[in-house]
Chain A
Amino acid sequence: MTSYRLPQGGLIDRGHPLSFTFDGKALQGVQGDSLASALLANGRRLVGRSFKYHRPRGILTSGAAEPNALMTIGSSGRTEPNTRATMQELYAGLEARSQNRWPSLAFDIGALNSLASPFLGAGFYYKTFMWPAPFWEKVYEPFIRKAAGLGRATHEADPDSYDKCWAHCDLLVVGSGPAGLAAALTAGRAGARVIVADEHAMAGGSLLSETAIIGGTPASAFAEACATELRSLPNVTLLTRTTVFGWYDGNVFGAVERVQRHIATLSPSRPVERLWRIVAKGTILATGAEERPLVFGGNDIPGVMMAGAMRTYLNRYAVAPGRTTAIFTANDSGYQLAADLEARGVRVSAIVDPRAAGGATYAGKARVLRDAVVTDAHGGRSLAAIDIRSGSRTDRLKVDALAMSGGFSPVVHLACHRGGRPVWSDEKAGFLPPANFGGLTPAGAARGIDGLAACLDDGARRGANLVATFGFTATPVAFGTVEGDVPVSAPAKTLWSIPGGKGKAFVDYQNDVHRKDLDLAVKEGYGHVELAKRYTTGGMATDQGKLSNVNAIGLLAEARGLSPGAVGTTTFRPFYTPVSFGALAGAHHGEHFQPVRRSPLHGWAARHGAVFVETGLWYRSAWFPRTGEKDWRESVAREVVNVRRNAGLCDVSMLGKIEICGPDAAEFLNRVYCNAFLKLPIGKARYGLMLREDGMIYDDGTTSRLEENRFLMTTTTAYAAGAMNHLEFCAQALWPDLDVRLASVTDQWAQMAIAGPKSRKILQAIIDEDIGDAAFPYLAAHEVSLFGGALHGRLFRISFSGELAYELAIPAAYGDSVAEALMATGRTEGLMPYGVEALSVLRIEKGHVTHNEINGTVVPADLGFGKMVSLAKPDFIGKAMLQREGLAAPDRPRLVGVVPLDPADTFRTGAHILAKNAAATLENDQGYVTSSAHSPHVGSTIGLALVKRGDERHGEEVVVWNGLNGEFTSARLCPPVFFDPSNEKLHA
């Protein structure tokens, strides 16, 4: 392969060669190269296949707008598809692969699509894939997915780390070209806190590709000197490799810094990317301008390149574009390129200029053809010749590289992210940023300023003016005379397309949208800019039309007989360039995204062989299998029977615990619960129901009065955080006049339920006080002393199982050892651990409700709690709405038990209840099973259900219908308490 690297010049280090591979072939570049410049230096012109027609494509630009040179970088978990070779710095060992080709880049079967191109025009998907409907899933979608030509993401986990941070500054400067550097230096020298962000590896922007001399210093050295000064100022942060991708409310900017995307061996102590959120008082938008392609036949053949990009490869990377070059330019920038090429010994055979009097100051050797256009480019995988039409004659010229420049479009994206629309300027032949929109100040080429000296001056002045509004005295920095500054001078009339060409003239390279597609869109009624985008797909995908949109608008304007301003733009939205999911997620993955909450008794449970189940963030012990048990049901049944016969210990630490203190604590509880709490005696617990304002039950739990003005509330595990927020709302927003303070103490206490007929005896062995029924009756709640005063805890005589039961709360750090002590003393009494599965069976047997029943549709009366509600209270949350007619309707679903007629039969939670002999229809639906379990006590499946008038239908034969499995089970409705309905065991 021939080398196109020039022997000298450029901002590269020839003494530092770097090996890399492209499609498996080993190549060499040098330090300072981009992947694109290294490929060009190696004579690699063909770098990808186009999206739809699989046409050979080459490198078109040298920056973020690149539509063609999209590659997959890296391997396994570090695979990055759709990486723009123009933005990827070369490093030793870089692996790049081309995309959208099979079996190889040079021989690609998909290119046959080109032959079918008459059928693949605008609106093709809409017109073709309409019928028959079953074909959508089986034929069309797989076809479209296979054909869609972008890279593939990996399924492997990303091994690298990502970071997020915030930064605050007086002035954010986006872009470090001439205007950006001038603004940043001006503000930085004045003492303002400045952040400068640039997406490239080096600060300087267009200065790095310039041959002009600024104040006696070559442009690239000038840029380096500016960057050095900015880095030396303590109040300035210069962020290179950082793309500001979005402007958000409150003048917050999103930026992504590629910390280690250019490094061969990654440091594990640093992130690969860092997501910045930058809060700026003011912002200078110095994003420059994007050069526009010219729309002529074959303008996508590898070897055709943007004129500015060719200048960058030549001056910055010392890469010759070819052996014989032509330049097709509608403005004076092409003449600068010609002069630079000739100075580096690259032959320019022609400059083609559609204007009558362009390039007046050009004094080089190339033939200048004015009033002329390039109508077609020829070649397959590489440019071979161009057709030049001048007047009535067309000549063919053999060239292997063609530069093109149709004009410059200010990069206005960020300025439009918050709803502002860009404004068309006939004078500048481009869209300018919206004026006076939210304090973002464009400077330099981003607002249509032309020429290097003018941009330096504009940046300095605008920077000075902006920081002056924050109280800084700033003098615009002056940089001396600029030699070799050739303003672009906009064309008199913008040339949107070149008539007379025969080949496909591409407007949007990435989406393969050519001129005729836009014509067709207008003809078929999709000429509105937003419709044309969807109809042709122009401006979509990873580059979002950075290069193509303005040309597309110009063409639509021509076809519709309007000005581009009247056609307008599509909506600009973040992100400016694609941002990795890794950067957006930051450190929030795995346990940092979903932390694991372990109870203080987790270790105890693990030692006793618990099988854990995820409950929200908690890991709860589900059951404790023993040797010889063949499945979980057997373990659970054994635990249930043991609680009923002897005693069991269950970890209930994850229940929400909230301390409520203050002189008005009782009044506060009286208002947040629907039942009465004012007169709860000290040392007693009470079951409470919290309603929502609409009258439905929100949560339940017990609340104990520990002292006159100190209560301890428990909530369900799932609603612990929500209940705390709700109580805080009530205390702060509804009744701030009540003197009450709230504290969540869930994590401070280990809590264990000790349930079963032998629980008292087991507990008494470690508790100093008498806990006999007389001294410690049902619902007693006291502080207790343990192990002869060694420790203090809280004991509550409450029961979820229906057995004689206690809950013992111990300061969290002592929970584990107290649980073990209980296991040791209780062994002779048959104490065993039990998990939440057994807990659930025990509570269903006893008819206790959980959020299976409290599902947001039930009021207290639906669950048999009607008499608990104290309507005598002047106010409580939910009181007013609870008294609505519909909530007392006689046919509301109400809690009822359900058992199969044949104990061998079973049914599942969620199954519906039908009257006997009723057809399985929605109209006949009587309600549904909310909880079900196999009950060792009953000897069959039992269920709780919400059934219309359920409490009046005890004894009625019904059918339990599982519509998913088509199962019908004959069953009988019954009282919801299957065990000890007279509460004898509870009060034992």
Chain B
Amino acid sequence: MASLVPCPHCGSRPKEEFTIKGAALARPAPDADPDSWFHYVYLRENPRGAYEEYWHHTAGCRRWLIVCRDTVTHQVNTSQDAAAAKGQAA
């Protein structure tokens, strides 16, 4: 994994400051069918290449980020605030 994670608020910071939650999946609508919920809660892709994940800058600004990293090269391609990704002000 990348040694440094670019935080949109704090700049490039050591990965030890972050905690990772896992795949950045869209939460299904409350009334979505059971299969959608099952996929959201239990099923994960294991891609070779670009992968979007939720990262929390726990020991920094405490914002949740969506970090896109390459599972082959370990390169972090993009990193954005999770709220901003939904079109909301961070």
* A contact residues vs B (CB 8 Å cutoff): 166, 248-250, 252, 277, 279, 693-694, 725, 728-729, 732-734, 736-737, 874-875, 879-881, 884
Contact of A874 among B30, B38, B62 (CB under 8 A): B30
Collect the chain B residues with CB atoms within 8 Å of residue A248's CB: 3
Q: Is B19 in contact with A725, judged by CB distance below 8 angstroms?
A: yes
Docked Cα-Cα span, A694 to B4, in Å, equals: 32
Docked Cα-Cα span, A369 to B54, in Å, equals: 70
Q: Is A737 in contact with B21, judged by CB distance below 8 angstroms?
A: no
Check B88 for interface membership: any CB of A closer than 8 A.
yes
Q: Is A732 in contact with B40, judged by CB distance below 8 angstroms?
A: no
Collect the chain B residues with CB atoms within 8 Å of residue A277's CB: 3, 14
Q: Is B30 in contact with A880, judged by CB distance below 8 angstroms?
A: yes
Q: Is B4 in contact with A693, judged by CB distance below 8 angstroms?
A: no
Known: A693-B40, A729-B64, A880-B30. Is A736-B83 also a contact (CB below 8 A)?
Answer: yes
Since A248-B3, A277-B14 are in contact, a sample of 11 more A-B pairs with Cβ atoms closer than 8 Å, ordered by chain A residue number, is: A250-B3, A250-B4, A250-B74, A277-B3, A694-B41, A725-B58, A732-B82, A733-B54, A733-B64, A880-B34, A881-B38
Q: Is B86 in contact with A736, judged by CB distance below 8 angstroms?
A: yes
Collect the chain A residues with CB atoms within 8 Å of residue B62's CB: 728
- Interface members, chain B 47-90 (any A CB < 8 Å): 54, 56, 58, 62-64, 74-76, 81-83, 86, 88, 90
Known: A250-B4, A875-B30. Is A729-B88 also a contact (CB below 8 A)?
Answer: no
A445 → B minimal CB distance (Å): 28
B56 → A minimal CB distance (Å): 6
The interface centre, meaning the residue of A248, A694, A733, A736 with most chain B CB atoms within 10 A of its CB, is A733
B14 → A minimal CB distance (Å): 7
Collect the chain A residues with CB atoms within 8 Å of residue B34's CB: 880, 884
Known: A249-B2, A728-B62, A884-B34. Is A734-B27 also a contact (CB below 8 A)?
Answer: yes
Collect the chain B residues with CB atoms within 8 Å of residue A728's CB: 56, 62-64
User: Chain B: which residue is nearest A884 at the CB level?
Assistant: B34
Docked Cα-Cα span, A737 to B87, in Å, equals: 9
Docked Cα-Cα span, A277 to B4, in Å, equals: 11
Collect the chain B residues with CB atoms within 8 Å of residue A734's CB: 27
Q: Is B21 in contact with A729, judged by CB distance below 8 angstroms?
A: yes
Collect the chain B residues with CB atoms within 8 Å of residue A733's CB: 54, 64, 82-83, 86
3 smallest beta-carbon distances between A and B, as pairs: A736-B88, A736-B83, A252-B3
Collect the chain B residues with CB atoms within 8 Å of residue A166's CB: 14
Check B43 for interface membership: any CB of A closer than 8 A.
no
Docked Cα-Cα span, A732 to B64, in Å, equals: 7
Collect the chain B residues with CB atoms within 8 Å of residue A694's CB: 41-42
Collect the chain A residues with CB atoms within 8 Å of residue B42's CB: 694
Docked Cα-Cα span, A798 to B22, in Å, equals: 37
B72 → A minimal CB distance (Å): 9
Docked Cα-Cα span, A88 to B64, in Å, equals: 48
Docked Cα-Cα span, A611 to B4, in Å, equals: 44
Please count how many residues in chain B sit with their CB below 8 Å of the partner chain's CB atoms: 32
B80 → A minimal CB distance (Å): 11
Check B8 for interface membership: any CB of A closer than 8 A.
no
Collect the chain B residues with CB atoms within 8 Å of residue A279's CB: 3-4
Q: Is B2 in contact with A250, judged by CB distance below 8 angstroms?
A: yes
User: Chain A: which residue is nearest B3 at the CB level?
Assistant: A252
Known: A166-B14, A249-B74. Is A693-B41 also a contact (CB below 8 A)?
Answer: yes
Docked Cα-Cα span, A879 to B88, in Å, equals: 25
Check B32 for interface membership: any CB of A closer than 8 A.
yes
Collect the chain A residues with CB atoms within 8 Å of residue B76's CB: 250
Q: Is A732 in contact with B4, judged by CB distance below 8 angstroms?
A: no
Collect the chain A residues with CB atoms within 8 Å of residue B74's CB: 249-250
Q: What are 16 inter-chain pairs, A to B, with CB distance below 8 A?
A: A249-B2, A279-B3, A725-B56, A728-B62, A728-B63, A732-B82, A733-B82, A733-B86, A734-B27, A736-B82, A736-B83, A879-B30, A880-B32, A880-B34, A881-B38, A884-B34
Q: Is A880 in contact with B28, judged by CB distance below 8 angstroms?
A: yes
B28 → A minimal CB distance (Å): 7
Collect the chain B residues with CB atoms within 8 Å of residue A880's CB: 28, 30, 32, 34, 37
The interface centre, meaning the residue of A736, A874, A875 with most chain B CB atoms within 10 A of its CB, is A736
Docked Cα-Cα span, A478 to B70, in Å, equals: 42
User: Chain A: which residue is nearest B32 at the CB level?
Assistant: A880
Docked Cα-Cα span, A139 to B80, in Å, equals: 58
Docked Cα-Cα span, A884 to B33, in Å, equals: 12
B35 → A minimal CB distance (Å): 11
Docked Cα-Cα span, A279 to B3, in Å, equals: 9
Binary A-proximity of B1-22 (CB < 8 A = 1, otherwise 0): 1111000000000100001010
A279 → B minimal CB distance (Å): 7
Collect the chain A residues with CB atoms within 8 Å of residue B28's CB: 880
B40 → A minimal CB distance (Å): 7
User: Chain B: which residue is nearest A168 at the CB level?
Assistant: B12
Docked Cα-Cα span, A728 to B83, in Å, equals: 11
Docked Cα-Cα span, A881 to B35, in Å, equals: 10
Collect the chain A residues with CB atoms within 8 Å of residue B38's CB: 881
B23 → A minimal CB distance (Å): 12
Collect the chain B residues with CB atoms within 8 Å of residue A881's CB: 37-38, 41
Q: Is B63 in contact with A732, judged by CB distance below 8 angstroms?
A: yes
Collect the chain B residues with CB atoms within 8 Å of residue A250's CB: 2-4, 74, 76
A552 → B minimal CB distance (Å): 30
Q: Is B54 in contact with A729, judged by CB distance below 8 angstroms?
A: yes
Known: A693-B40, A725-B19. Is A252-B4 also a contact (CB below 8 A)?
Answer: yes
User: Chain B: which residue is nearest A744 at the CB level?
Assistant: B62
Docked Cα-Cα span, A694 to B3, in Å, equals: 32
Docked Cα-Cα span, A734 to B82, in Å, equals: 9
Docked Cα-Cα span, A907 to B15, in Å, equals: 47
Collect the chain A residues with CB atoms within 8 Å of residue B4's CB: 250, 252, 279
Collect the chain A residues with CB atoms within 8 Å of residue B30's CB: 874-875, 879-880
Docked Cα-Cα span, A166 to B82, in Å, equals: 28
User: Chain A: which residue is nearest B19 at the CB level?
Assistant: A725
Collect the chain B residues with CB atoms within 8 Å of residue A874's CB: 30
Docked Cα-Cα span, A732 to B54, in Å, equals: 11
Known: A725-B56, A874-B30. Is A732-B3 also a contact (CB below 8 A)?
Answer: no
Docked Cα-Cα span, A728 to B1, in Å, equals: 24
Collect the chain B residues with CB atoms within 8 Å of residue A693's CB: 40-41
